[in-house]
Structure 1
Amino acid sequence: MKQNSEKLILAACSGNKQALEQLLIVSQKDIRRFARKTCTTSEDIEDVVQIALWQIHRKIGTLKTIKAYTSWLFRIIERECYRLFRSRLSKNTETESNLENITTHDSDLNLRIDLINAIMTLPPIYRQILIIRDIEEYTAPEAAKKLGITIEAVKSRLHRARSMIKEKLTSQIFLDE
């Protein structure tokens, strides 16, 4: 992040309306780019850009650190893309029979159980970082501070934890077949 952007974010967090307006303009390109990678349709992209800009406008004052701005912004975009995808999916599945919905619910429940079991089998240092980052949604710097480790260690442990979960779930799928 450029120093000018950091100053803009800091001023916007402090309540400077002009800085906030400028930040919204500057951020729009990054929001659109990330939304294109994350959302499934062009309509969703447009909706997410508007929602993200609105969230920045409403909640910029709640930002804890300037360094968290980018990850906070991308989390908003991811969440909204996923929400729009789920809502479209639920509209499509409403036409399915009750039996198919029950089967889908059962498989979701089984996946959740498998995921919880996989998380519980992780060594404590990996389970801890996975929970802090992916469930409690701490930023990498916040997690590093909470655990007393470097940001690089947070990223490394999180990558390893996710890989271990993926391996566990993939092997479980092959065992079930």
Structure 2
Amino acid sequence: MTEVCWPDEHLVAAARAGDIDSITTLVSGSHPHVRRFAYSLCASPEDAEDAAQEALIILYRKIGTLRASGALASWMFRIVRNECLRQLRWHVRRAEPTPESTIASAEEEAINRLEAERVAAAIAALPGDQRRVLIMRDVQGYSGRMVADLLGLSTAAMKSRLHRARAAVQQSLEVGNAESIA
């Protein structure tokens, strides 16, 4: 199997300088890496494709802001991670209907936002197989059988991963609460 390398620093430098052909080549050369990273982080293939596309758009628009030509890979991975987290937050917000009769204070909204960010970070820290099961089951609301079928797992394997994921998220949140109290 041929390993695909990141575009070289000369191409990145030319793209940073504004050369359109270099930018185009850079975006196409980065696509396989960005896509692979998005698939490892995001909950579903659709979210991964969206995150990869958004990351490449950001690369195209903001390549001139990259400070060091050798930092392309880490910069892109950070962008993809942020896009996956953004999509996760969007799914979480969409799954939580808020009654219009209750209006939260600014303080309550800030606390809720911080808590949602903690949960999203705990989920993002999970191994990919556990993260996908947890998000599909608990965030997107798919049935256990559907999650197992979509991921090519037995129901028992899906339940095991889901249990480990929930326990890890719960432990991460408890550790965070203990640290904030201390």
TM range (shorter): 0.5 to 0.7
Counting only pairs closer than 5 Å after superposition, residues 24-173 of structure 1 correspond to structure 2 as: 24-94=27-97, 170=175, 173=178
Q: 1:36 to 1:15 in 2, by over 3 A?
A: same
Structure 2 unaligned blocks of 5 or more: 118-170
Deviations 1:34-92 (A, max 9, x none): 00111111111111111111101100011111122111111111111101110111010
Cα contact 2:11–2:22 (8 A) shared by 1: yes
1:73 is paired with a residue whose SS is helix
Number of residue pairs aligned between Structure 1 and Structure 2:
120
Cα contact 2:7–2:26 (8 A) shared by 1: no
Q: CA RMSD in A?
A: 3.7
Runs of 4+ residues deviating >3 angstroms: 1-4, 95-99, 101-112
Q: 1:61 to 1:171 in 2, by over 3 A?
A: closer
The whole-number CA distance in structure 1 between the counterparts of 2:39 and 2:59 is 19
State the TM-score, normalized to the length of structure 2: 0.53
Larger helix proportion of the pair: 1
Give 1:107 deviation, angstroms: 7.5
Q: Percent identity?
A: 31
1:64 is paired with a residue whose SS is coil
Structure 1 unaligned blocks of 5 or more: 113-165
Give 1:170 deviation, angstroms: 2.5
Question: Residue in 2 aligned with 1:19?
Answer: 22
The whole-number CA distance in structure 2 between the counterparts of 1:111 and 1:53 is 26
| 1:5 counterpart = 2:8 | yes
Q: 1:57 to 1:90 in 2, by over 3 A?
A: same
Question: Residue in 1 aligned with 2:149?
Answer: none
Cα contact 2:15–2:26 (8 A) shared by 1: yes
